Structure formats: C-alpha cells, structure tokens
Amino acid sequence: MTPAPTLNLFAGALGAIVAAMSLVVVGVSYLPVAPQDRAQSARASQDVKIERPPTTDAAALASWRSRPVFAPSRRPPAPPPPPPAAADISDLRLVAVFIKGGTATAIVEPRGAEALRLKKGSTFRGWYVSDVGPRSVAFVAGDLRHRLDLQLPRGSAER
C-alpha cells in the first residue's frame, strides 16, 4: 500500500471515533434525572449563600451602577494629558564633548547659567537627548528636532 491510502484510512477512522465520542457526550447531557436527585440538588442550592463583596464607598457603588458593562453609552477613560510643551533651547551653546569608555557626554551651557553635562537618553527642559556625537548633540521633543554643533574658536586648527 502507498502511504496516501493508509493516511486516508487512518484519518477516516479517527473521524469516526471523534464523531462517536461526541454523540456519547451529547447523549449523556439529555439523560433523565431521577426525582430524588432533583430534590437533593434543589436543597443543596438553597443552602448556598451568595455573598456580595463589601463596599465601603457609596460613591464608588453608585458610579458602578451608573456605568453598566455592556451599555452603549459606556466610554473608555479619558486619555492622559499630553506631555508639557518643550521649552526653548535656542539659548544653549555646546561647549565640549568628551568620550570615555564609549560613553559620550556633552557639556552645554545655557546663556547666563552654569554649564550642564548631558548624556544620550537624558532630558533637559522637556527635550530628550537623542544623540551625542564627537562634535554635536541632538535633541528631540515630539516632532521637533534641534541640533547643536561644537563651535570652534576662530583661528584654531581642526584635527
């Protein structure tokens, strides 16, 4: 015999077994229940006490009743507020960039303030430092992008 007819025969036998078992399961659910069993199950259901969860907050219970789960008027909670707008960083000046052990750190100086150290991943005035290169630092705030380049003094030689 070739493998295909054997496989078909096996699949057919397996299908017949599954069909027979489903008939047995369905048939069992329709068997009549003896009267004494019905009485016993009725007494058992009367003994069962359903406890409601304790609620100490009447307002929470009222809001629960006013918002049924499957009501068409039910709405998801309001989305979180948007993050605050990024502050202006046009007053920043890139003073230096140093790289130690593969980690680059930018030294930026706001006009009239003390210099700050910023690494990739840090935030400043709502701006995320997305990249620190050998001669630049890049900031991102939502769809806005800002890049500061290292300004070399006039007359200095670049390496």
SS3 19: helix
For residue 123, give every residue at least 6 positions away whose Cβ sits within 8 Å of its Cβ, in sequence order, or none: 129
pTM for this one?
A: 0.45
Per-residue pLDDT band for 107 (boundaries 50, 70, 90) equals very high
Higher per-residue pLDDT: 14 or 6: 14
Q: What do you get for the CA distance between the two ends of the chain, in Å?
A: 81
> Range with the lowest mean pLDDT among 38-42, 49-53, 103-107?
38-42
Tokens at 78, concatenated:
């309001």
Q: Which is more confident, 85 or 106?
A: 106
Question: 54-63: b or e for each residue (b if 16 or more CB lie within 10 Å)?
Answer: eeeeeeeeee
pLDDT at residue 15 tops 70: yes
- Averaged over 10-36, what is the pLDDT? 66
Q: What percent of the chain has pLDDT over 90?
A: 22
- 7-28 burial string, b = 16+ CB within 10 Å, else e? eeeeeeeeeeeeeeeeeeeeee
CA atoms within 13 A on the CB side of 95: 13
Reported confidence tier of residue 4, pLDDT bands at 50, 70, 90: low
User: Given a cut of 80, is residue 27 above it in pLDDT?
Assistant: no
Confidence label for 97 from pLDDT (cuts 50, 70 and 90): very high
Average pLDDT over residues 124-142: 91
